[in-house]
Chain A
Amino acid sequence: MQFGQRLPSPATQGPETGKALGPYLYPALAWCLGVFLLLALPLAPTSQSEAQAEPAGEIATVLIGYLKQEVKRLIPLSRLNVEPDDLGIAGAEIALKDNNTTGKFTKQDFKLDIERVPIGGDAVEALRKFVESGHHFVLVDAPAETLLLLADSVKDQDVLLFNVRAPEVSLRQEECRANVLHTAPDRAMLADALAQYLVWKQWQRWLVVKGVFPEDLVYLDALHRAARRFGATIVEEREYKETPGARRSDTGQQQIQLQMPAFTQGAPSHDVVVVADEAEIFGPYLPFRTWDPRPVAGTAGLKAMSWHPAHEQWGATQIQNRFQRFAKRFMLPLDYQAWVAVRAIGEAASRTGSSEFAPIAAHLRSDELELAAFKGQKVTFRAWDGQLRQPIIVAGPELPVSMSPQQGFLHEYAEVDTLGIDRPESKCKFARGGE
């Protein structure tokens, strides 16, 4: 299997090339160059004048921004999981095409401008420029602390931010902001989706292994909450402290083969090993190497996610094909999260027949929003915390295994609200009327 090959176009993809496991990312040079050129230009200097110049009754333009705060990331254990340079951005771009195809018929036009803020750069200033040039809807691809700075910097202005990346539960709880909608699922939703499947499968006894990073501990909290809610038992929690043998060193593979069984040895009886290791320090080494022959789930092995490149239910084949033709790589969760944000704006614009901020923003938050997003049911935003209400895919590396909510986990109003923070337990206080 050659990892370096370009992704075959879906139209010509034969059965054998379809099985190619490796190419989660194909740095498509042409596309990257295109993005680069776009960035080399000053930030949409003509946008505002365009928006204002349009005569009444003619085509109206909705300006959307994509603000990406670059961050330094650890190199993942598997080179399959290196982030493509256009991750998220390509999802927003393909949604823009979808919006504009619809816009042809509704006489609406959508424009997407991308701003990458370098490490140490001023994201707040970048957002200010976006707003100044008429971008009222801005996708934010940034860590949680940056998102909060951005949200507070445009407080009380006609600006709506879409959190497409940050999974922190706190952003939907104590730290929620009224001007942010979240298309990224939070850790609570992801843990609940996984837990429902594990419990449905009767794998109720979990051996939890955890890393030492703060992200691992907050995911661990979500796992504890999910176990309590759905009736699983954590038989032991084990912390991974050592530095595993480097994969690239000549003896790395052999060391890991000895380390992982030893690490999982002597645990109480368990059905599944659940990993909390978001930075991928050791988690991906666990499948096939545990002391007891047990499946691995969590941040490695069987994972919960908003999207999987092999998800083909509910018409997803079409978007996967469209995306692959366009981006020359597979569609990943962040691409989907950006796609949903841009499509939600488009849907609200076509339903309200408006290109103005207020009606679109109101429609996005209302019960009227019915966005088809390849999940077998409409997706909407929760009134109490701005979180996208969506079914979550539970998948192995190559194929989806299931989609949560699982049947049998009942809810008073909507089964999908068994995933994540439900209204009664919400600590979010942007409290809008009698919601």
Chain B
Amino acid sequence: MSARRLHIAVTALAGLMFAGGPAAGYTVYVSNEKGNSLTVIDSTTLQVLETVQVGQRPRGIMLTRDGKQLLICASDDDTVQLLDVSTRELVGDLPSGPDPELLNIHPSGSPVYIANEDDNLLTVIDLPEREVLAEVEVGVEPEGVGISPDGKVVVVTSETTNMAHFVDTETNEIFDNVLVGTRPRFAEFTADGTQLWVTAEVGGTVAVIDAKTRKIIKTIGFEIPGIQPEYIQPVGVRITKDGAKAFVALGPANHVAVIDAKNLEVEKYLLVGKRVWQLAFTPDDALLFTTNGNSNDVSVIDVPSLKVVKSIPVGYAPWGVTVSQD
């Protein structure tokens, strides 16, 4: 019981801290695919703090669960680089296998799951030891990696096979495959773990999958007046922790779709920069950052008002984005 009380106290404290607006400055990291760099942004001032040179073609990025290091898929260097966030210096590599594109980290902090787009593999790496634990053979051109909140299931999407592969994290074996729309790029579980959302770039849709039965509950399509359907290419997807809203980056349609995550209907389209790739919330779900690959900027969406409040110039061809927990 005391632990529970403590939890409540901490939550209340956190609530107090956030109540005063975005006083708690989070750090936003953006990988610039063609700039071979990382742009660091302060979420309060929305100013660029620093640009750090990293490996070649950095794409998927993610902070370690303890927030101390940033993992960077340096695709053209065939490695995942580790950046110390306090010094902003590269401090090591993970043996990721060739052409890492996206990764995810187990809720316990390790292992790291990396999609090797060139090799039809999901590589499982022990983070502290920096050692390969397993390689899981998946479909052609694996890309998106989602992990269930309880850490029991990792899902990898394969772009040419058009499947979401469900992998048991205990055995590192595939236990189910779900055919989804064409060229699936990103997989994201809801915070309660009941649903998995998978975007299909060429199909132009998002599949919402029941995580337990692994049946598709609904395939959501998009329609924006004045934009040809072939430009609607869903890539990144993020869902608010309360399960109320989902945001989908629509690529060269230059919009982010807002979806009512309860009834799975599209509510609104927000105009952002050109060729929007990936999305990341601040931990309080108050702001959403979008990487716009062709306009070399990041759009900032105010989540409660569903308004684009700012665009921040970053490096050349921004791709991945992640935000610190504190």
Contacts and interface: CB of A to CB of B under 8 A. Distances in A.
B203 A370 contact: yes
B162 A101 contact: no
Instruction: Name which of A11, A318, A350 has the most chain B CB atoms within 10 A of its CB.
Output: A318
A96 to B, nearest CB: 12
B162 A372 contact: yes
A371 B183 CA distance: 9
B203 A98 contact: no
B255 to A, nearest CB: 17
B138 to A, nearest CB: 9
Instruction: Name which of B163, B165, B228 has the most chain A CB atoms within 10 A of its CB.
Output: B228
Interface string B136-157: 0101110000000000000000
Contact of B230 (A347, A351, A416): A416
Contacts of A343: 160
A370 B181 contact: yes
A106 B165 CA distance: 12
B311 interface: no
Given A11-B98, A378-B230, A101 B182 contact: no
A321 to B, nearest CB: 5
Interface in A354-387: 370-372, 376-378
Contacts of B179: 106, 350-351
A221 interface: no
Interface string A101-120: 11011100000000000000
B135 interface: no
A101 B140 CA distance: 7
Contacts of A86: none
B159 A101 contact: no
A372 B161 contact: no
B297 interface: no
B206 to A, nearest CB: 15
B139 A105 contact: yes
Interface string A325-351: 000000000000000000100010011
Contacts of B165: 105
Contacts of A98: 140, 160-161
Nearest to A411: B228
B260 interface: no
Contacts of A106: 177, 179
B182 A102 contact: no
A373 to B, nearest CB: 9
Contacts of B177: 105-106
A343 B163 CA distance: 15
B277 to A, nearest CB: 13
A115 B277 CA distance: 44
Given A105-B161, A322-B118, A416-B230, A370 B140 contact: no
A372 B159 contact: yes
B188 interface: no
A321 B118 contact: yes
A268 interface: no
Interface residues of B, number: 30
Nearest to A100: B140
A98 B140 CA distance: 6
Interface secondary structure of A, over-half rule: helix
Contact of B163 (A102, A315, A322): A102
A377 B202 contact: yes
Contacts of A321: 99, 118
A415 B141 CA distance: 28
Contacts of B181: 370
Interface string B109-128: 00000000110100000000
Contacts of A350: 161-162, 179
A411 to B, nearest CB: 9
Interface in B266-322: none
A371 B161 contact: no
Contacts of B228: 414-415
Contact of A315 (B98, B139, B159, B161): B159
Given A98-B140, A315-B141, A321-B118, A372 B78 contact: no
Contacts of B158: 102
Contacts of B118: 318, 321-322
A318 B141 contact: yes
Nearest to B252: A376
A377 B230 contact: yes
A377 B165 CA distance: 23
B230 A11 contact: no
Given A371-B182, A372-B183, A101 B139 contact: yes
B77 to A, nearest CB: 11
Contacts of A414: 228, 230
Contacts of A415: 228, 230
A159 to B, nearest CB: 26
A311 to B, nearest CB: 16
Nearest to A415: B228
B160 to A, nearest CB: 6
Contacts of A104: 137
A375 B44 CA distance: 39
B240 to A, nearest CB: 29
B10 to A, nearest CB: 44
A390 to B, nearest CB: 11
Nearest to A379: B202
Interface string B90-122: 000000001100000000000000000110100
Contacts of B182: 370-372, 378
B230 A102 contact: no
A101 B117 contact: no
Given A315-B141, A321-B118, A372-B202, A105 B163 contact: yes
Interface string A392-417: 00000000000000000000001110
Nearest to A102: B161
Interface in B178-216: 179, 181-183, 201-203
B163 A370 contact: no
Interface string A405-435: 0000000001110000000000000000000
User: 10 shortest A-B CB distances, which residue pairs?
Assistant: A377-B230, A370-B182, A102-B161, A372-B183, A105-B177, A372-B202, A378-B202, A372-B182, A98-B140, A101-B140
Given A101-B139, A105-B163, A318-B117, 10 more contacts: A101-B161, A102-B161, A347-B162, A350-B162, A350-B179, A371-B182, A376-B230, A376-B252, A378-B182, A378-B230
Interface of B: 78, 98-99, 117-118, 120, 137, 139-141, 158-163, 165, 174, 177, 179, 181-183, 201-203, 228, 230, 233, 252
20 contacts: A11-B98, A101-B120, A101-B139, A101-B140, A102-B139, A104-B137, A105-B165, A315-B159, A318-B118, A321-B99, A343-B160, A347-B162, A350-B162, A371-B182, A372-B201, A376-B252, A378-B182, A378-B202, A378-B230, A415-B230
